[in-house]
Chains A and B, each alone.
Chain A
Amino acid sequence: MSATAVHSLWTTAAGPIDKIQAPDIEYAQLAPVLIVVGAAVVGLLVEAFMPRKARYHAQVFLTVLAIVASFAAVLGLAEAGYGTTKVRIAAMGAIAIDGPTLFLQGTILLASLVAVFTFAERKLDPETHGTKIDSFVAQAAAVPGSENEKQAVKAGFTTTEVYPLTLFAIAGLLVFPAANDLLTLFISLEVFSLPLYLLCALARRKRLMSQEAAVKYFLLGAFSSAFLLFGIALMYGYAGSVAYARIADVVDGSIRTIDPVLADTMGNDALLLIGSAMILMGLLFKVGAVPFHMWTPDVYQGAPTPVTGFMAAATKVAAFGALLRLLYVVLPGMSWDWRPVMWGITIATMLGGAIVAITQTDIKRLLAYSSIAHAGFILAGVIAVTPEGVSSVLFYLGAYSFVTIGAFAVVTLVRDAGGEATHLSKWAGLGRRSPLVAAVFAVFLLAFAGIPLTSGFSGKFAVFKAAAEGGAGALVVVGVISSAIAAFFYIRVIVLMFFSEPKADGPTVAVPSVMTKMAIGMGVVVTVVLGVAPQYFLNLASQAGVFVR
């Protein structure tokens, strides 16, 4: 290359540049996310500078405060009409502030709040070496079973890093359903995934299992992220943009100007089909839909139970939010293409989750498969492609997340010498020894099974009704059949708890602190209220059922 050419390159770069446009950021509308991120950063500083003894209280306080403040911000935005009349695209097109965003953010924050209560529980295990201990490992870096670990336990270390990690995860979850372009979608996915991979590895007991779960989750998660990213690249090739609205225009065929650089690929349907399929795969992985569900049972079983509850509730809410926005905002123009595929996935997810759950012998794995079946029910509402479909999914997610966190919170209470007694055989006769705990768990199981007068029924009815009105009557029938199959294993647990004789060496039920009591109590209250008088929340969900474009 000649010197002049180099020179000319330099001159172009060094020539008079346009002023860099300061991005226009709507801080007020982004406040829910910003508060959480800010608190997470402060949490890191707390880790760095606070004395070890004071960290737990400071972190719990900070986390709860941040979540409550963020929730207040969401309420404020909703009150100001950002969910209905003043919907807008914020942050230079990266974030959509609309009904579904606010509803899902509110749900995620409430679920996170309840989950954090279970994180902070320190009364289940007896004190060791004078320190109260929680569900998390003393020192994550210590090899399981090593001298190092023993010393860390002796010194009374606790992993208070979980709180800032959780806050970062929450921040990612808040952005995920609001993401209005594919890059924001991908980044928020990574922002919540990475802390979750770590949190999964931090169980105090059964550490090897916990680490194995984390590795599996990480590897499969990375795999699915790769799919998502590849899909985004293909989609960019197809539409010449990563912004949802623009892609949607290209899909509709309402864009006439073609970027000359992309003239070869733009509007190429093969790119659209492959690209959207890959993006959907990435999202369905997070949702835990068959056949992308393989990680769910292992991760749910291995992760510390409070983290499992958090993942099962908050992650699912966020992932369904993102899926809804993608299908309803970006790809409605090709619903003829994706609906048959999603039909298949929905049927496989409902039946697969319900059938495989029957053979499970571990309560956490059982709940994992049950969460897969529920993902299928929610997908039935997603497929409707009507505003009723959106609001039914929103309602279901809200109802489901509280039942889930409550159920996992109960799981943390039933313990024997090795920590939580998750094998089902150990739950035999629980109803005779601790009627209240068993009754509460039975309420959650009945809600999972969709028995009327629980939130599970209202949610199931809402999605099935939306699906039927959307012309998916066959899905409803399959859904009803898999509900019947699912009912079998929920009932089996109830039989075990109430009608079996307690075993002599059975587990004990730990008396939790007010934190876990609040988590479980909220679960029960929400389950019953949404079952008996769901009208107010259905209203909310149906007001929130319209996406901004």
Chain B
Amino acid sequence: MSFPLLTATAVLPAVGAIVTAAVPAARRTTAKWMALGFSLATFALAVLVVARFEPNGDRYQLVESHSWIKDFGVRYELGVDGIGVVLIALTALLVPFVILAGWHDADPLENSSSRWRPTQGFFALILMVEAMVILSFEATDVFLFYILFEAMLIPMYFLIGGFGDRAHSGSDAAAATQRSYAAVKFLLYNLVGGLIMLAAVIGLYVVAGSFSLNEIAEARASGELDMATNTERLLFLGFFFAFAIKAPLWPLHTWLPNAMGEATAPVAVLITAVVDKVGTFAMLRFCLQLFPEASKWATPVIVVLALISIVYGALLAVGQRDIKRLIAYASISHFGFIILGIFAMTSQGQSGATLYMVNHGISTAALMLVAGFLITRRGSRLIADYGGVQKVAPVLAGTFLVGGLSTLSLPGLSPFVSEFLVLVGTFARYPVAGIIATSGIVLAALYVLVLYQRTMTGPVKDEVRGMPDLRPRELAVITPLIALLLFFGVFPKPLTDIVNPAVEHTMSDVEKKDPRPDVEAAK
């Protein structure tokens, strides 16, 4: 038997979480280094996964399959396609930065005498989330995926509720209330989605008699499994509802601004750049593959919802007074693009959506983490409390600008490539949708540049005076992210090479062919 690389990639951070949690209370720094070490080792394994992966080989590679719960028909089945590979790499890449950026976020307050060990807990929970997210990208058994999809909520919930942003405008008690409100809202939204999905998972088993993606696909191909139209639609809706909450798609998005606003910046990155990707990933892998007919049936509505997400998220971002909530609404707009790309049902759209997941992860991480550094310095999340920062802390302002520009998809930075692909892919099938979606880019320019203008330019505010520039630790976080944004902006081929064959598979699942470019002319 070959080495179970996929399992190892997921288990390593879980082991790291346990080890980190077990570090004695006094050895806080040891715990941090331990967590960082484990996350880097996980990244090394993820690189190995990418290296072993043959883009043009079988659909699912590095496959592992073991019996798990026979009575439920559940197998421990892992396998990655191109989409899974890049998302695993993204997750493993971002978590070390999240840990490094959150180095001091969970240090105990000086006046605290509680026996609660927040530091160890904080890093252990981050690693736990990483383990579950990676495994969920690898699962090819619907039940296994569902379990991870639900279980990852718990560590996430404690991260949001237990370790809030210390830069809060209100009193401590008010901050605690808002934080637990955000955490509960996050958990309830996702739990409701998950439970609806549970009904659909059970329904799928009753209909298909299996949880294995491969078996179901085979049965479908051979005509053994023939879902009634209505059944397929109901099951699709059950799955999609859960993923749309996780992604999040308008009108199920309202938990995200609360959660991202109240969490610390690194945790906010973990939410939007890592955990939420499971939602969009699952749309590609499960919704399209298991329920192709229903997916086509639902496409018009989903495209409209995605468009609303794009425009609505961007409009609300323009109106935000709180930096982190602004980034949250920008993310909602971007998730609209991703979902639009997936359901445009063109290969460009879906490749674009997959690239978008990666690029959005990197660019949001860059913007949010710099914003976090800024907020920690000033102790406020309100845009109005800043001004003229670029004169005091030029490097901070510069990196903030690059992160912002990548968010508005400036050509030359990687998000541009994916956004362009999504728009082209959408345009080929739904020209009107493509036009409306383009307005999201214009609005993005507005909210990013106005944010920069208000915080970084203008006269230096008194409270900002003397603000230190980025420290070496912070530079170590932000420099590689910016380098990646530039690299993939100029040279996205390594990513597209891996992603494209996988997208072709998905396209053939839904039996859609790209519309010919001359289709309009022929009419």
- Mark A residues whose CB is within 8 Å of B: 391, 431-435, 446, 449, 451-453, 457-458, 461-462, 464-465, 468-469, 473, 476-477, 480-481, 483-484, 487-488, 491-492, 495, 498-502, 533-535, 538-539, 542
Question: Smallest CB–CB gap between B171 and chain A, Å?
Answer: 12
The answer to whether A488 and B188 have CB atoms under 8 Å apart is yes
A176 to B135, CA, bound (A): 45
Some 23 contacts from A to B, beta carbons below 8 A apart, are A431-B116, A435-B115, A435-B116, A449-B191, A451-B150, A451-B151, A451-B153, A452-B147, A461-B202, A464-B199, A468-B206, A480-B198, A492-B184, A499-B161, A499-B162, A499-B176, A499-B183, A500-B176, A500-B180, A535-B68, A535-B69, A538-B69, A542-B71
- B158 within 8 Å of A by Cβ? yes
Question: Smallest CB–CB gap between A396 and chain B, Å?
Answer: 13
Known contacts: A431-B116, A476-B202. The answer to whether A491 contacts B187 by CB under 8 A is yes
Question: Smallest CB–CB gap between A437 and chain B, Å?
Answer: 11
Known contacts: A451-B150, A481-B195, A491-B187. The answer to whether A468 contacts B202 by CB under 8 A is yes
Interface residues of B in 361-398 (CB under 8 A from A): none
List the B side residues contacting A481 at CB < 8 Å.
195
List the A side residues contacting B180 at CB < 8 Å.
495, 499-500
A476 to B147, CA, bound (A): 18
List the B side residues contacting A432 at CB < 8 Å.
114-116
Contact with A along B176-201 (1 / 0, CB 8 A): 10011001100110011001101100
List the A side residues contacting B199 at CB < 8 Å.
464, 476-477, 480
Contact of B151 among A453, A488, A539 (CB under 8 A): A453
List the B side residues contacting A534 at CB < 8 Å.
69, 71
Question: Smallest CB–CB gap between A441 and chain B, Å?
Answer: 14
- B154 within 8 Å of A by Cβ? yes
- Mark B residues whose CB is within 8 Å of A: 67-72, 114-117, 146-148, 150-151, 153-154, 157-158, 161-162, 173, 176, 179-180, 183-184, 187-188, 191-192, 195-196, 198-199, 202-203, 205-206
List the A side residues contacting B115 at CB < 8 Å.
432-435
A542 to B202, CA, bound (A): 18
A487 to B186, CA, bound (A): 13
List the B side residues contacting A535 at CB < 8 Å.
67-71
Question: Smallest CB–CB gap between A497 and chain B, Å?
Answer: 11
The answer to whether A483 and B195 have CB atoms under 8 Å apart is yes
A465 to B206, CA, bound (A): 8
**Interface contacts beyond A461-B198, A539-B71: sample of 4 additional A-B pairs, CB < 8 Å, sorted by A:** A432-B116, A465-B206, A491-B191, A538-B69
Question: Smallest CB–CB gap between B168 and chain A, Å?
Answer: 14
A176 to B196, CA, bound (A): 37
List the A side residues contacting B68 at CB < 8 Å.
533, 535
The answer to whether A491 and B72 have CB atoms under 8 Å apart is no
Question: Smallest CB–CB gap between B263 and chain A, Å?
Answer: 13
Question: Smallest CB–CB gap between A91 and chain B, Å?
Answer: 33
List the A side residues contacting B206 at CB < 8 Å.
465, 468-469, 473
Question: Smallest CB–CB gap between B124 and chain A, Å?
Answer: 12
Known contacts: A433-B115, A499-B176. The answer to whether A487 contacts B191 by CB under 8 A is yes
Q: Looking across the interface, which residue of chain B has its beta carbon closest to that of A466?
A: B202
A465 to B203, CA, bound (A): 8
List the B side residues contacting A473 at CB < 8 Å.
203, 206
The answer to whether A498 and B161 have CB atoms under 8 Å apart is yes
List the B side residues contacting A501 at CB < 8 Å.
173, 176
The answer to whether B158 and A480 have CB atoms under 8 Å apart is no
The answer to whether B72 and A465 have CB atoms under 8 Å apart is yes
Question: Smallest CB–CB gap between B511 and chain A, Å?
Answer: 28
The answer to whether A498 and B162 have CB atoms under 8 Å apart is yes
List the B side residues contacting A539 at CB < 8 Å.
70-71
Q: Looking across the interface, which residue of chain B has its beta carbon closest to that of A496?
A: B180
List the B side residues contacting A464 at CB < 8 Å.
198-199, 202
Q: Looking across the interface, which residue of chain A has its beta carbon closest to that of B143?
A: A461
Q: Looking across the interface, which residue of chain A has its beta carbon closest to that of B69?
A: A535
Known contacts: A431-B116, A435-B115, A491-B184. The answer to whether A462 contacts B191 by CB under 8 A is no
The answer to whether A452 and B161 have CB atoms under 8 Å apart is no
List the B side residues contacting A446 at CB < 8 Å.
154
A458 to B70, CA, bound (A): 12
A465 to B401, CA, bound (A): 53
Q: Looking across the interface, which residue of chain B has its beta carbon closest to that of A538?
A: B71
List the A side residues contacting B179 at CB < 8 Å.
499
Known contacts: A464-B202, A539-B71. The answer to whether A453 contacts B147 by CB under 8 A is yes
Known contacts: A432-B115, A464-B202. The answer to whether A487 contacts B71 by CB under 8 A is no
Question: Smallest CB–CB gap between A355 and chain B, Å?
Answer: 15
Question: Smallest CB–CB gap between B261 and chain A, Å?
Answer: 16
Q: Looking across the interface, which residue of chain B has its beta carbon closest to that of A482?
A: B195
Question: Smallest CB–CB gap between A460 and chain B, Å?
Answer: 8
List the A side residues contacting B67 at CB < 8 Å.
535
Question: Smallest CB–CB gap between B115 and chain A, Å?
Answer: 6
A246 to B496, CA, bound (A): 72
A533 to B117, CA, bound (A): 30
Question: Smallest CB–CB gap between A428 and chain B, Å?
Answer: 11
Considering the complex of A and B, which 6 residue pairs feature the smallest CB-CB distances, nearest first? A452-B147, A538-B71, A499-B180, A432-B114, A480-B195, A432-B116
The answer to whether B205 and A452 have CB atoms under 8 Å apart is no
A84 to B187, CA, bound (A): 44
List the A side residues contacting B176 at CB < 8 Å.
499-501
The answer to whether B195 and A484 have CB atoms under 8 Å apart is yes
Q: Looking across the interface, which residue of chain A has its beta carbon closest to that of B204?
A: A468
List the A side residues contacting B153 at CB < 8 Å.
451
Q: Looking across the interface, which residue of chain A has its beta carbon closest to that of B158?
A: A498
Q: Looking across the interface, which residue of chain B has its beta carbon closest to that of A541?
A: B71
A469 to B205, CA, bound (A): 9
List the A side residues contacting B187 at CB < 8 Å.
487, 491
Q: Looking across the interface, which residue of chain B has its beta carbon closest to that of A477?
A: B199
List the B side residues contacting A449 at CB < 8 Å.
191
The answer to whether A465 and B69 have CB atoms under 8 Å apart is no
The answer to whether A538 and B72 have CB atoms under 8 Å apart is yes
A215 to B23, CA, bound (A): 52
The answer to whether A452 and B146 have CB atoms under 8 Å apart is yes
List the A side residues contacting B205 at CB < 8 Å.
465, 468
Contact of B188 among A391, A491, A499 (CB under 8 A): A491
The answer to whether B191 and A484 have CB atoms under 8 Å apart is yes
Contact of A452 among B151, B173, B183, B192 (CB under 8 A): B151
Question: Smallest CB–CB gap between B74 and chain A, Å?
Answer: 9
Q: Looking across the interface, which residue of chain A has its beta carbon closest to that of B188?
A: A488
Question: Smallest CB–CB gap between B312 and chain A, Å?
Answer: 26
Question: Smallest CB–CB gap between A277 and chain B, Å?
Answer: 30
List the B side residues contacting A533 at CB < 8 Å.
68-69
List the A side residues contacting B183 at CB < 8 Å.
495, 499
Question: Smallest CB–CB gap between A539 and chain B, Å?
Answer: 7
List the B side residues contacting A488 at CB < 8 Å.
188
A183 to B188, CA, bound (A): 48
List the A side residues contacting B151 at CB < 8 Å.
451-453
List the B side residues contacting A502 at CB < 8 Å.
114
Contact of A435 among B71, B72, B117, B146 (CB under 8 A): B117
List the B side residues contacting A431 at CB < 8 Å.
116
List the A side residues contacting B162 at CB < 8 Å.
498-499
A435 to B25, CA, bound (A): 13
A453 to B161, CA, bound (A): 21
A33 to B168, CA, bound (A): 63
List the A side residues contacting B116 at CB < 8 Å.
431-432, 435
A244 to B184, CA, bound (A): 50
List the B side residues contacting A492 at CB < 8 Å.
184
A434 to B115, CA, bound (A): 7
The answer to whether A495 and B147 have CB atoms under 8 Å apart is no
Q: Looking across the interface, which residue of chain B has its beta carbon closest to that of A499?
A: B180
A282 to B161, CA, bound (A): 45
List the B side residues contacting A480 at CB < 8 Å.
195-196, 198-199
A473 to B157, CA, bound (A): 31
The answer to whether B195 and A495 have CB atoms under 8 Å apart is no
Question: Smallest CB–CB gap between A483 and chain B, Å?
Answer: 5
The answer to whether B154 and A451 have CB atoms under 8 Å apart is yes
